[in-house]
Amino acid sequence: MYYHKKITSPVGELTLVATDQSLMAVLWENDDPTRIQLEESTEQEDHVLLVEAGNQLAEYFGRKRTGFELPLEFTGTEFQKKVWQALLTIPFGETRTYGQIAQQIGDPNAVRAVGGAANKNPISIIAPCHRVMGASGKLTGFAGGLKTKSYLLQLEYTKRNPTLWQSWE
């Protein structure tokens, strides 16, 4: 059975989806309903895992957390799961290119496919697809929108470089 809870964040309302064992999704407020295929869920504000995920996200947005400690379950193709697992290895405040992720998963010619898998990442923010850039270093497609991607990258960069935060706030 799937459960969900909506939380407010600096990047808009997020919907957290979990089973009793794992976090399954972090969805954007205006997410394309066809982007992630999940079973129907029941709203449950006090679900232990959803409450913990909400607390950890609040700490992240409050610049008090640089990583997440939650049980995750990815639903997708084997290729997508490899990409999503690779996303989890990108350190807080750092970025990688789609090409670097393709190299990391052992398929250097799959740069576009890596981009497609990143776009289908069901556990946004926690599996940090926002940390993946185009080869030129430009911000490229992101399910949460480029403004949100920029916000998340600035949040992380300024956490690592606190003197920059004052000018950005």
pLDDT in tens, 125-149: 999 999 999 988 888 888 888 999 9
Per annotation, catalytic residue among 102, 129, 143, 152: 129
Residue 159 burial (CB count, 10 A): 17
Computed over every residue of the chain, the mean pLDDT equals 90
pLDDT in tens, 38-63: 778 888 889 999 999 999 999 999 99
- What's residue 141's pLDDT? 82
> Using 50, 70 and 90 to split pLDDT, how confident is the model at 162?
low
* Cα–Cα dist 96/101, whole Å: 7
Contact between 100 and 131 under an 8 Å Cβ cutoff? The reply is no
Share of residues in the chain with pLDDT > 90 (%): 74
Judged against a pLDDT cut of 50, whether residue 165 lies above it is answered with no
CATH numbers and ranges of domains, the chain: 2-61 (3.30.160), 78-163 (1.10.10.10)
End-to-end CA distance of the chain: 41
Tell which residue, 161, 133, 127, 124, has the closest CA to residue 11: 124
Active site residue 129: yes
